[in-house]
Amino acid sequence: MIPISGTNIKDFEEIIPQTKTYKLNLLEGKINDYIDGIDAIKQAVFKILETARYQYLIYDFSYGSELNGLIGKDSDYIEMELRRRIRDALTTDDRIINVTDFVFSHEGESMSVRFKVISVEGSFESEVMVNV
């Protein structure tokens, strides 16, 4: 719709992206019901981080994450790069505003990364494990 001269910006309503989606039951390998709101965004975060970018034809090149390829690198570089890669992967979803408060824990050949996701539905903590 093209605004008519003299139209006030307050006359327009902001459209918030819908979050309703299928609820994945990973333990049983089934789709059970639907979820909405912050639970749907939490599931989207999980799916984005568990999907390797550029690997599946069903997804375009903006979907997924690039958390691999850091094995043997310096730990400071890994932490900096994981911040960037996680934020890049998640903020392609219009419902996610920012990713902050990263906390890294080295566990043998893996690294646990905890972070805060700020979304249109509210904020929550999430975590991912990466081989380093």
Rounded average pLDDT over 89-116: 96
pTM to 2 decimals? Answer: 0.84
d(CA 69, CA 5): 53
Residue 3 has pLDDT above 60, yes or no: no
Residue 11 has pLDDT above 80, yes or no: no
pLDDT tens digits, residue range 58-69?
A: 999 999 999 988
The answer to whether position 7 is within a domain reads: no
Bridge partners (DSSP) of residue 129 are 112
pLDDT tens digits, residue range 31-52?
A: 989 999 999 999 999 999 999 9
The answer to whether position 85 is within a domain reads: yes
Rounded average pLDDT over 106-119: 94
The predicted pLDDT at position 80 comes to 97
Q: Kindly report the CA angle at 49 between 44 and 55, in degrees rounded to 5? A: 110
The predicted pLDDT at position 2 comes to 58
CATH label of the domain that carries residue 120: 3.10.450.40
The predicted pLDDT at position 6 comes to 62
Residue 17 has pLDDT above 80, yes or no: no
The predicted pLDDT at position 9 comes to 62
Of the chain, the end-to-end C-alpha distance in Å amounts to 50
The answer to whether position 37 is within a domain reads: yes
The answer to whether position 8 is within a domain reads: no
The answer to whether position 45 is within a domain reads: yes
Q: Where would I find the H helices in 1-132?
A: 37-50, 75-90
Return the C-alpha torsion angle 117, 118, 119, 124, nearest 10.
Answer: 50
Q: Which residues of 60-95 are buried (b: 16+ CB within 10 A; e: fewer)?
A: eeebbbbbeebeeeeeeebbebbbebbbebbeebeb
The predicted pLDDT at position 71 comes to 86
How many domains does one find in the chain? 1
Region of 81 (left: φ > 0; alpha: ψ -120 to 50; beta: rest) is alpha
Q: Which domain holds residue 102?
A: 17-131
